Structures are given as structure tokens and as C-alpha cells.
């Protein structure tokens, strides 16, 4: 993204300018028809945002939708690994062709373009933002009912680029039950509101561990504060996910599509209802 020289403070919520956000949205590739774009965000790293993105995509796919994931976490891409996809994307006259998971979910990530997936991406913000824009306008996504955008943590260049350049229908905020949750969720929520991006709700990951013997839910990271924070912000908690070693192993093995996504079903229900025209 080019340097801001217009004096814009990016706070669309309080701006008196008559510019329209729609004017900033980049056009899709001629061979793309993406209907709904859902951002998956977090205020900090390590909360399981990519896992939630992956499971939401699987949930949407099992319901018969055409689904895609745009991996916007350029410096820490993990989507191809989770789906076991390591074949490199190629460019054609149509545009860049996304790779597909075993279930047929379209994927685009910087790791599908690098010669070595372990090679570090040491790029400055404007370059990274430019890549995100290319993933949207230069990839031939085909017919997509739901695209999930796995965003990097924080409120920096990439979320700003995604919010300004893509037609985001709404976002899911992922967090964990720790004392920092209020600040973390509030930052992500407030940035979205500044940019006039709808917040669908919150997903709390690592909420508890279920005892394999008695079934008791053990709150390893302390008592959940998600409901309290959601009430303060005027949104809602859509799901609370447990710490599950089986799911973690499936992700490590590139088999996230075999994981139990049943706890994400209510989240998908909320997304469908939220974006309904």
C-alpha cells in the first residue's frame, strides 16, 4: 500500500469526508465471483485464528458451499500446512490459479508461491499490503460463496489493507480466556468499527479442557471473560472451543479437514444469518 499523503486518518466512523468506502474496493479478477468475504481476526498472535479460519471453511464446505481461504498472514502463513497442500500455485492467462484442498477448498497463501516454505518473508508493510491486494485481484478464484480471510494479529498494515481493499461482509474475532482479553478484543473491535466493518461476534479458543474420565470442563487459562467483554462491546460470543490435542495433531499432519468442526456450526449459522441479504 502506498504511503498515505491525503491526510486521511483511516477513521471512517468519524470522518466528514464524502468519499465512499466502496470506491476503495479493488475489483475482482475477471474469473472470480466471490459473494461473501469473512475476515477472521485477533488482537494478538497464538490464539488459534488460523484454526478457526480452517474449521469455518470446512464447515461451510460440508454444507455444500463453494469455499476459499485467502491467507493474509504473509509473514506467518499456516493455512497450506493445516490442509496438507504444498503444491505451488501457477499463473496462467486467467490469473494466478489457487490450489485446492482434498475437499475442494480454494487456497492462496504466500507459501504456495515461495520456493521453500520455510523461507522467511522479510518485507516491509507496503510490499506485504501489495501482495494482499494481488491475492484478491490477480487470483482467479472462480465461483465462491464464502471466502474466509485469515488475517495476521494486531491492527497494522495488513488488516487496514484488507478492510479498505476487500468487500468484507463481517469479521469474527478470535481470542482466549486470559486477563488481556478485554484489551485484545477491544482493539480488534474498535479498529473494525473505525473502518465501518461489521463485527459478527467472538469465538473464544482454548476455553477449557474436557476431562477424558469425568467430562468436567477445566478452565486451564482461568475463568472466561468473553461474555462480559462481548456485552460491554455490544456483540456476542458465538462459540467457546476446547483445547483438543487430537485437533492439534490433525493440523500438524495437514489433515484439518478431518477435525470435528461441530462446535463451529453455530458460528457458521450466525455468519449465514448476518450476511443474509
pLDDT bin (cut points 50, 70, 90) of residue 20 is: low
pLDDT one-digit tens code per residue, 76-131: 899 999 999 988 999 999 999 999 999 999 999 999 998 777 777 878 888 999 99
Give residue 210's domain range.
26-272
Cα separation, 70 vs 131, in Å, equals: 11
pLDDT-derived band of residue 2, with 50, 70 and 90 as boundaries? very low
* 216 pLDDT above the threshold of 80: yes
Please identify which residue in the block is written with the cell numbers 455468519.
271
Question: Would you mind telling me the total number of residues written for the chain in this entry?
Answer: 277
123 occurs within a structural domain: yes
> Considering the domain boundaries, does residue 10 fall inside one?
no
Of residues 76, 83, 120, 118, the one with CA closest to residue 98: 83
Q: What is the mean pLDDT of the chain?
A: 89
DSSP-based helix, strand, coil % in the chain, nearest 5: 35, 20, 45
pLDDT tens column, 144-178: 999 999 998 887 888 999 999 999 999 999 999 87
Q: Is residue 137 part of a domain?
A: yes
**Torsion, CA 5, CA 25, CA 197, CA 47, rounded to 10:** -90
The whole-model pTM stands at 0.90
**Structural domains in the chain (count):** 1
Q: Tell me, yes or no, whether 118 lies in a domain.
A: yes
Residue 17 lies inside a defined structural domain of this protein: no
- 159: helix, strand or coil: helix
CATH number of the domain where residue 152 is located = 3.40.50.300
Position 276 scores a pLDDT of 87
Q: What is residue 181's predicted lDDT score, i.e. its pLDDT?
A: 73
Domain membership flag for residue 12: no
Considering the domain boundaries, does residue 8 fall inside one? no
Do the domain assignments include residue 7? no
How far is the C-alpha of 76 from the C-alpha of 214, rounded, in Å?
38
Amino acid at each position: 500500500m502506498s504511503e498515505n499523503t491525503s491526510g486521511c486518518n483511516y477513521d471512517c466512523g468519524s470522518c466528514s469526508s464524502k468519499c465512499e468506502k466502496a470506491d476503495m474496493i479493488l475489483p475482482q479478477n475477471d474469473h472470480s465471483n466471490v459473494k461473501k468475504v469473512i475476515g477472521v481476526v485477533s488482537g494478538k498472535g497464538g490464539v488459534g485464528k488460523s484454526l478457526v479460519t480452517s474449521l469455518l471453511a470446512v464447515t461451510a464446505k460440508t454444507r455444500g458451499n463453494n469455499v476459499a481461504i485467502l491467507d493474509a498472514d504473509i509473514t506467518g502463513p499456516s493455512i497450506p500446512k493445516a490442509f496438507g497442500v504444498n503444491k505451488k500455485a501457477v499463473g496462467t492467462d486467467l490469473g494466478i490459479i489457487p490450489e485446492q484442498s482434498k475437499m475442494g477448498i480454494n487456497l492462496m497463501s504466500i507459501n504456495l508461491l515461495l520456493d521453500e516454505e520455510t523461507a522467511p518473508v522479510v518485507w516491509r508493510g507496503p510490499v506485504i499490503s501489495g501482495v494482499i491486494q494481488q491475492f484478491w485481484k490477480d487470483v482467479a478464484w472462480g465461483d465462491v460463496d464464502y471466502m474466509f480471510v485469515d488475517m495476521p494479529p494486531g491492527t497494522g498494515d495488513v488488516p487496514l489493507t484488507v478492510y479498505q481493499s476487500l468487500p468484507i461482509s463481517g469479521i469474527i474475532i478470535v481470542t482466549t480466556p486470559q486477563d488481556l482479553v478485554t484489551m485484545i478484543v477491544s482493539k480488534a473491535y474498535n479498529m473494525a468499527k473505525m473502518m465501518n466493518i461489521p463485527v459478527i461476534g467472538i469465538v473464544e479458543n482454548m476455553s477449557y479442557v474436557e476431562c477424558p474420565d469425568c467430562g468436567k470442563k477445566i478452565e486451564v487459562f482461568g475463568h472466561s471473560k468473553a461474555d462480559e467483554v462481548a456485552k460491554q462491546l455490544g456483540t456476542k460470543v458465538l462459540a467457546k472451543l476446547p483445547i483438543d490435542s487430537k485437533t492439534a495433531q490433525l493440523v500438524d499432519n495437514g489433515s484439518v479437514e478431518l477435525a470435528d468442526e461441530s462446535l463451529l456450526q453455530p458460528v457458521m449459522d450466525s455468519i449465514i444469518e448476518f450476511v443474509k441479504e
